[in-house]
Amino acid sequence: MLLLPLLAAATSACGILYTDAKVPRGWRTASPSEVKSSPDDPLVQGESCAHAVLWLVAWGDSSYDRALKDALQHAPGGPRDGIMYDVRSDLKVKAYVLGLYTKECTVLNGKLAKP
Amino acid sequence: MKILLAALLIALLPAAGWAFGEGDQDNADPTDMIAPSGLVVYYDSSGPLSFVSMTPKDVPDGARKIPRVKGVACQRGIAAPSLLVGSTLDLSAYYGDGSYAKALRQIKKDNPEISGIYDVRVDLHMFSILGVYHSQCTEVTARAFVLPSAPPPSPPPAPAPAAKP
């Protein structure tokens, strides 16, 4: 019976002693018809992560905003501004030893149009 | 026994499907209110619920674009932990305005010239220390646009000078 709350705590990006973490909530992304899209628009990927150790301490930034910054930073041809569209947003969680260490990442995949 | 178990599972399936069906919720889910714990002596808080934001298509032609604006609105809480671990006798109080309205007011205050925002990302910033102090902030990050200012209204035409007799 104790396992379920522990697993819930381990995957909730919250620490009992200290928490300073950003988590994604919502993003109404654009479709191709809603931006100045072109067939040459590059595919970009961005990731942002938060961590928790021993269910006691949690930190990091797995926000949409950070993941988008990461995607723009690693755009093909160097960092540039743009609007992501056709976005797939996924959550990637890694937990070891019943969640003694947990890493929770927001992963964005999409195309980048001119702003 | 196995038949009984199978019948129980089959009987529970529709309920599970009803409970977890995707997209069939039509009521508000207040999961983004700051979560109270212990004996709550005071709770006066607002949190984000829904916001259908604009996309780039909704930006009027000719509008000047601003690449990034940000507004933050926070709910906060204080708890006085009791000496008994797991006791529900902790006293706690929660307050603050973490609503979309507050975050958008802050964006408007910081950027009074903007006419609207689009490509809006919403994130939650959770902070807590020793279970005594909690904050949960709604962070709204977006692009913004400014509509070209309308020409000032022209003054009414001056009355024609009266003809001298």
**B81-105 per-position pLDDT tens digit:** 665 555 557 889 999 999 999 999 9
In this prediction, residue A55 has a pLDDT band, given cuts at 50, 70 and 90, of confident
Cβ contact, residue pair B128, A68, below 8 Å? no
The percentage of chain B sitting over the pLDDT mark of 90, rounded to a whole number, equals: 52
In this prediction, residue A88 has a pLDDT band, given cuts at 50, 70 and 90, of very high
In this predicted structure, what is the pLDDT of residue B148? Answer: 86
What DSSP string runs through A14-41? --SSEEEEEEEEEE-PBPGGGTB--TTP
Cβ contact, residue pair A25, B32, below 8 Å? yes
Answer for the pair B115, B59: CB distance below 8 angstroms, yes or no. no
Chain B residue numbers with beta carbons less than 8 Å from the beta carbon of A28 are: 52-53, 55, 120
Domain ranges (residues) in chain A: 3-113
Query: How many CB atoms lie under 10 A from the CB of residue A63?
Result: 25
Cβ contact, residue pair A25, B48, below 8 Å? yes
Cβ contact, residue pair B126, A115, below 8 Å? no
Q: Is the pLDDT of residue B106 over 90?
A: yes
Q: Is the pLDDT of residue B71 over 90?
A: yes
Reading the block at residue B76, the tokens are 């906060």
- Eight-class DSSP state of B21: -
Mutate to test the interface with B, among A2, A12, A25, A41 (most CBs of B within 10 A): A25
Mutate to test the interface with A, among B55, B61, B65 (most CBs of A within 10 A): B55
Question: How far apart, in Å, are the Cα atoms of A55 and each of A13, A93, B132?
Answer: 8, 15, 16
* ipTM of the complex as predicted: 0.79
In chain B, which ranges are continuous DSSP H helix? 2-20, 100-110
Answer for the pair B124, A25: CB distance below 8 angstroms, yes or no. yes
Rounded Cα distance, B118 and B140, in Å: 11
Report the chain A residue with the minimal C-alpha distance to residue B134.
Answer: A19
Name B80's Cβ contacts closer than 8 Å, sequence gap at least 6: B90, B91, B92, B132
When mean pLDDT is compared across A1-10, A76-85, A98-107, B124-133, the lowest value belongs to A1-10
- Cα of B130 to nearest chain A Cα, Å: 4
- Cα B128 from chain centre: 20
Reading the block at residue A54, the tokens are 């021993």
**A33-48 per-position pLDDT tens digit:** 999 888 889 999 999 9
**B123-135 per-position pLDDT tens digit:** 999 999 988 999 9
Does residue B57 sit at the A interface (CB-CB below 8 Å)?
A: yes
How many inter-chain contacts (A to B, CB under 8 Å) are there? 86
In this predicted structure, what is the pLDDT of residue B99? Answer: 95
